[in-house]
A = this chain, B = another copy of it.
């Protein structure tokens, strides 16, 4: 409604050049709309062609990567979940070994029962911490040996909370003592873990890539909620605590999380408005009287008054990616890369619905719902968007421009990490390892980067016909992005996991969703222009759905499971199964000493030559 009134007053010259440009289109005669109409089809068809070629290309890349003649541990293993109770007198290990040796008498190598490593991880974590602390203290001690004072100063610390309170001790001695203590505890905990904390899941190793690939996609048990399998990810990607979650509990958790996420996306403004209403300055002063002197400073008061209402929102938006990642892991997703994909997918819907549609309609989705509830037709929903779009062209143009000037500038120069690194180097880092740690660029951060780019895709699609000036901006954004991020991905960031292009189907579907949003918007747009042939736009979303369906049928299964023809490629060398097996032992359970015990416990015996 707001946008309509804008449209009527656009001749008053209260709008920017761009707005006028798009307004001009609106007031153009109906015959000119045919141009828009053709452009609308053109954009869609070009998108289809490019998406098809991209999917094919990524699929080939994935096949190439999987074909690689290098031995990769994840290509020789599968993960089994939902193992039923072991029969009387059989250990879990015996049960798993017997089961898989019966089915794969020749290629089964060994199995590793998943254990509950929480306690062991905790001990291992603090052990690592003390080791680092020791190294740091030794470096500090070395550094303090100046010519003036050749014996140096032994560093000290307090044992209490954050090193602020408690008894003062010699750090090097203290750490050594702690390390010895923890090593003993870790060793006993490892034994307990391997013996008593076995879960209903296992990693199973095969001596052949093809068999592992085939096993990962075959149904093993007659009852599907037992012995369910999937192809093993890289060792460090496996989320061990999630492996024990049972089949139907996973399903349940998934729907629960979808529900929570939907609530979050649609109604996140309610708690935030509530909190904002509460955290006014007056309220704060009333409940926290000690901040009164601060508030009384005038300059500070102005700033606080301006930002305090937004504070809750800013904190929420900053924490959202983390929250979504947490929720995705809570679903019971067993691999890190999958969790990141799931979180990124959820974040996409949040940004598109709230940032794009939210800004466009000029408020929260809430208001729009009200109008939709009153006239719940597709026509109404799409025209709601279409009416508001032209008015916001400038905003989104600025948004895209800002994103590539500032965003890529920061990205390329990496000025903030550089400053932080130099600060750390000067004041904190003493050892070589600490320096390396400080320099670590981390990974590309798919979780937030992809939804951000998808938002740009959505914006460019939706304005491509109404305000085509956005297209060069979009082209620049993605062109520069290709140059910048290719460099960053290849030479700067260190990937933490490799999912062999499984992100692509995800991106593909979301681009398609943006395209459909654009097509529906255009339908609404032609509707508001009283264009007589508006229904002719309707085949477009249907075409998009068919296109998506065909792509999903043709390409997607090869992303879900490794294709056998790919896995059948010959290897450079005979795989060392022992190394592959060891790669999956989590660091907290790794130990040189207890290898003999291990054989008796959760990690199964090697397959002897004769099959059972």
> In the complex, what distance in Å separates the CA atom of A227 from the CA atom of B550?
17
Give, as a whole number of angstroms, the nearest-CB distance from A579 to chain B. 24
* Of A139-147, A160-168, A553-561, the one with at least 4 CB within 8 A of chain B: A553-561
| B555, A223: Cβ atoms closer than 8 Å | yes
Interface check A60, CB cutoff 8 A: yes
Q: Which residues of B contact A103 (CB under 8 A)?
A: 210, 564-565, 568
Q: Which residues of B contact A210 (CB under 8 A)?
A: 103-104
Interface check A202, CB cutoff 8 A: no
| A554, B224: Cβ atoms closer than 8 Å | yes
Give, as a whole number of angstroms, the nearest-CB distance from A502 to chain B. 14
Interface check A31, CB cutoff 8 A: no
| B217, A251: Cβ atoms closer than 8 Å | no
| A565, B225: Cβ atoms closer than 8 Å | no
What residues of chain A have their CB less than 8 Å away from a CB belonging to chain B?
A: 59-60, 62-63, 99, 102-104, 106, 210, 213-215, 217-225, 227, 247-248, 251, 550, 553-558, 560-566, 568
**Considering the complex of A and B, which 8 residue pairs feature the smallest CB-CB distances, nearest first?**
A103-B568, A63-B222, A214-B218, A222-B563, A224-B557, A222-B558, A220-B564, A214-B214
Q: Which residues of B contact A60 (CB under 8 A)?
A: 222
Q: Which residues of B contact A219 (CB under 8 A)?
A: 217, 557-558, 560-564
> In the complex, what distance in Å separates the CA atom of A251 from the CA atom of B560?
21
Give, as a whole number of angstroms, the nearest-CB distance from A23 to chain B. 40
| A554, B225: Cβ atoms closer than 8 Å | yes
**18 contacts across the A-B interface (CB closer than 8 A):** A59-B222, A59-B223, A60-B222, A63-B222, A102-B565, A103-B568, A104-B210, A213-B218, A214-B218, A217-B217, A218-B218, A220-B563, A220-B565, A222-B563, A224-B555, A225-B553, A227-B565, A248-B550
Task: Given A102-B568, A103-B568, A210-B103, verify A554-B223 contact (CB < 8 Å).
Answer: yes
Q: How many copies does the complex hold?
A: 2
> In the complex, what distance in Å separates the CA atom of A215 from the CA atom of B227?
18
A218-B561, A224-B554 given; name 8 further pairs at CB < 8 Å: A218-B218, A218-B564, A219-B557, A219-B563, A220-B565, A224-B553, A224-B556, A227-B565
> In the complex, what distance in Å separates the CA atom of A217 from the CA atom of B553?
16
Q: Which residues of B contact A222 (CB under 8 A)?
A: 59-60, 62-63, 558, 563, 565-566
Task: Given A213-B218, A251-B553, verify A224-B568 contact (CB < 8 Å).
Answer: no
Closest partner residue, chain B, to A106 (CB atom): B106
> In the complex, what distance in Å separates the CA atom of A210 from the CA atom of B107?
13
Closest partner residue, chain B, to A103 (CB atom): B568
> In the complex, what distance in Å separates the CA atom of A63 from the CA atom of B555?
33
Give, as a whole number of angstroms, the nearest-CB distance from A134 to chain B. 51
> In the complex, what distance in Å separates the CA atom of A117 from the CA atom of B224?
39
Q: Which residues of B contact A224 (CB under 8 A)?
A: 553-558
> In the complex, what distance in Å separates the CA atom of A220 from the CA atom of B103?
20
Q: Which residues of B contact A213 (CB under 8 A)?
A: 218
Give, as a whole number of angstroms, the nearest-CB distance from A102 to chain B. 5
Q: Which residues of B contact A566 (CB under 8 A)?
A: 222
- Residue in B99, B558, B568 whose CB lies within 8 Å of A565: B99
Q: Which residues of B contact A63 (CB under 8 A)?
A: 222
Give, as a whole number of angstroms, the nearest-CB distance from A83 to chain B. 12
Q: Which residues of B contact A104 (CB under 8 A)?
A: 210
Give, as a whole number of angstroms, the nearest-CB distance from A239 to chain B. 22
Closest partner residue, chain B, to A223 (CB atom): B554
> In the complex, what distance in Å separates the CA atom of A223 from the CA atom of B56?
9
| A217, B220: Cβ atoms closer than 8 Å | no
Most buried by B among A214, A222, A563: A222
> In the complex, what distance in Å separates the CA atom of A225 from the CA atom of B210?
20
Closest partner residue, chain B, to A64 (CB atom): B222
Most buried by B among A217, A227, A561, A565: A565
| A221, B102: Cβ atoms closer than 8 Å | no
Closest partner residue, chain B, to A566 (CB atom): B222
Give, as a whole number of angstroms, the nearest-CB distance from A67 to chain B. 9
Q: Which residues of B contact A560 (CB under 8 A)?
A: 219
> In the complex, what distance in Å separates the CA atom of A220 from the CA atom of B210?
10
> In the complex, what distance in Å separates the CA atom of A210 from the CA atom of B104?
8
> In the complex, what distance in Å separates the CA atom of A556 from the CA atom of B106?
29
Closest partner residue, chain B, to A59 (CB atom): B222
> In the complex, what distance in Å separates the CA atom of A106 from the CA atom of B211?
12
Give, as a whole number of angstroms, the nearest-CB distance from A108 to chain B. 11
Q: Which residues of B contact A550 (CB under 8 A)?
A: 248
Q: Which residues of B contact A218 (CB under 8 A)?
A: 213-214, 217-218, 561, 564
Give, as a whole number of angstroms, the nearest-CB distance from A29 to chain B. 38
> In the complex, what distance in Å separates the CA atom of A298 from the CA atom of B178?
115
Q: Which residues of B contact A59 (CB under 8 A)?
A: 222-223
Q: Which residues of B contact A221 (CB under 8 A)?
A: 558, 563, 565
